[in-house]
Amino acid sequence: MRKTKLAVFVHGWGVIKNRDQSRQWYRKNQRLIRLFEGQGYETMVLSMPGKYKLPDWDFEKYAHFLADELEKGYLCPHCEQKLPVEEIALIGHSMGGITCRLYLQEGGIGDPDTKSKVNMLITLASPHHGTSVGVQLNNSKCRDLLWPGSDFIRELNDADFPKDVDFHSIWSTGDGVMVPKHTSVSENASNYLIDNISVRHNGVMHRSNTEDIVRDILKGDPKPTGLQEYPDECNCNSKDKYWMPVGYRSEKPTGPKARNSMRKEYLFACKNMINNNECDETTDSLWWPNWWWGCEIGKNERLHTWRRTSYRGWRCRKCGDRKKGTNRPRNFDSSGICDRPFPRWHRYRIEWEKWECENCRTTTNRRWRPPIIGCEVGKAPDLNRRHDPIRVATRFIFKFKCSSCGDIRTIQEETPISYYR
């Protein structure tokens, strides 16, 4: 009888009432499940009791439930026989990742023989250091345990993680449930940052960014990105010291300002090159540095001096009728009425304005001020050569606070522009 590699998916806190959460998980994560099936894994999606809403259940009971399900083995849906399992990969989303991690770290949970078969843990947007959004959950024990700096969170991170288990944590900058966002970073794991604000908390499960990361993990070629470890030991003498992720604009781990949990800026390099001579200038900016002057080998740019004229183009916001002239056309006159009723008069607004360069007398019709670069006779600025920027890396600045003395530390991480975006 062949041995089986099993991938077990554990969902997070359920918000869908009167439905089986495992079916919802399976329907939304077809791409991730098929990715494991393509690597020779059999897949199993668990449905946690009460979807983490039971008032008398904590993470330890959910971890025991996970252990019982794994000890039952894998029942083949085709031959209806119990197949022996050789390797187990756990994939947990949100609270499911905390349940899987507690199952692996606690020695009194589960059968040691079954636990020894687990060789991989992948968490998707899991609050390894707690989250303040837990106050929105029901009156369950899991809500209080996930509060930042709670005893459960401290014991979870102080405990030793099994060295024979590959631990991977995937998180996104667009996750609004993880507050602060870098609370999903675990020092025991290889962390992967998805720099895409459109990838929300549930989107981490089924977006193509996660699929690319998991594919590299299964191929044995992982590429960790972003923050990987927390600051070094604090100098205070307290035994209960603990580094807490906090918002960049606030020293509190909770509250609306904690959502702005990190500072982001881009690293640009100049790509000008003449006769194999390259410019080695770099700059940091949150926006694209279009007016980056001072290049030694760049083009000598001359500038337009634009002046707005009184000649404009007008367009009706209702029917699209266009007119030209200095003054705004009358909304209702003898020339006609608007094709759109209620009311039957036009609503003209400025569509474009005529601009004229005082240097070269070039004219153009634009709604906003035209670009100033490209004049043939205009004056050049003092720093008359312009850099040609290209974005090469993204720099994140993460902020932490010591729970004992209140000391603030920051960590800078540069992430190259990659396809994990």
pLDDT at 252 over 60: no
Q: Span 127-150, mean pLDDT?
A: 75
DSSP 227-243: --------SS--TT--E
Q: Span 5-31, mean pLDDT?
A: 69
Q: Span 249-269, mean pLDDT?
A: 65
pLDDT at 93 over 60: yes
Angle at 168 between CA 167 and CA 172, to 5 degrees: 155
The pLDDT score that the predictor gives to residue 11 is 85
- Confidence band for 108, pLDDT divided at 50, 70 and 90: confident
The pLDDT score that the predictor gives to residue 18 is 45
Output 45 or 126, whichever has higher pLDDT: 126
Which two structure tokens, joined as six digits, stand for 345? 């008069």
Mean of pLDDT over the chain: 82
Q: Span 243-260, mean pLDDT?
A: 61
| Distance of alpha carbon 421 from alpha carbon 310, whole angstroms | 45
- Confidence band for 134, pLDDT divided at 50, 70 and 90: low
pLDDT at 21 over 70: no
The pLDDT score that the predictor gives to residue 16 is 47
Nearest to 173 by CA among 136, 226, 222, 217: 226
pLDDT at 146 over 80: yes
| Distance of alpha carbon 11 from alpha carbon 23, whole angstroms | 10
Percent over 90 (pLDDT), the chain: 21
Percent over 70 (pLDDT), the chain: 86
Residue the block writes with tokens 């459109």: 198
- Confidence band for 330, pLDDT divided at 50, 70 and 90: confident
Q: Span 101-109, mean pLDDT?
A: 90
DSSP 20-52: -HHHHHHHHTHHHHHHHHHTTEEEEEE--GGGG
| Distance of alpha carbon 228 from alpha carbon 217, whole angstroms | 16
The pLDDT score that the predictor gives to residue 236 is 82
Show Cβ contacts of residue 300 under 8 Å, excluding neighbours closer than 6 positions. Answer: 380, 384, 385
pLDDT at 364 over 90: yes
Omega of the bond leading into 127 within 30 degrees of 0 (cis): no
The pLDDT score that the predictor gives to residue 118 is 93
- Confidence band for 286, pLDDT divided at 50, 70 and 90: confident
Angle at 144 between CA 107 and CA 23, to 5 degrees: 75
- Confidence band for 215, pLDDT divided at 50, 70 and 90: very high
Q: What are phi and psi of 143, to 5 degrees?
A: -65, -45
- Confidence band for 421, pLDDT divided at 50, 70 and 90: low
Q: Is the distance from CB of 201 to CB of 417 less than 8 angstroms?
A: no
Q: Is the distance from CB of 204 to CB of 127 less than 8 angstroms?
A: no
| Distance of alpha carbon 197 from alpha carbon 203, whole angstroms | 10
pLDDT at 253 over 70: no
Structural domains of the chain sorted by starting position, each given as residue range(s) with its CATH number in brackets:
4-229 (3.40.50.1820), 242-301+381-421 (no CATH), 306-366 (no CATH)
- Three-state DSSP at 296 gives coil
In the chain, what is the straight-line distance between the N-terminal and C-terminal CA atoms, in Å? 43
Q: Is the distance from CB of 329 to CB of 323 less than 8 angstroms?
A: yes
pLDDT at 352 over 60: yes
pLDDT at 231 over 90: no
The pLDDT score that the predictor gives to residue 17 is 46
- Confidence band for 171, pLDDT divided at 50, 70 and 90: very high
Q: Span 389-418, mean pLDDT?
A: 84
Please, which residues bridge with residue 354 across strands?
Answer: 365
Nearest to 48 by CA among 67, 71, 74: 67
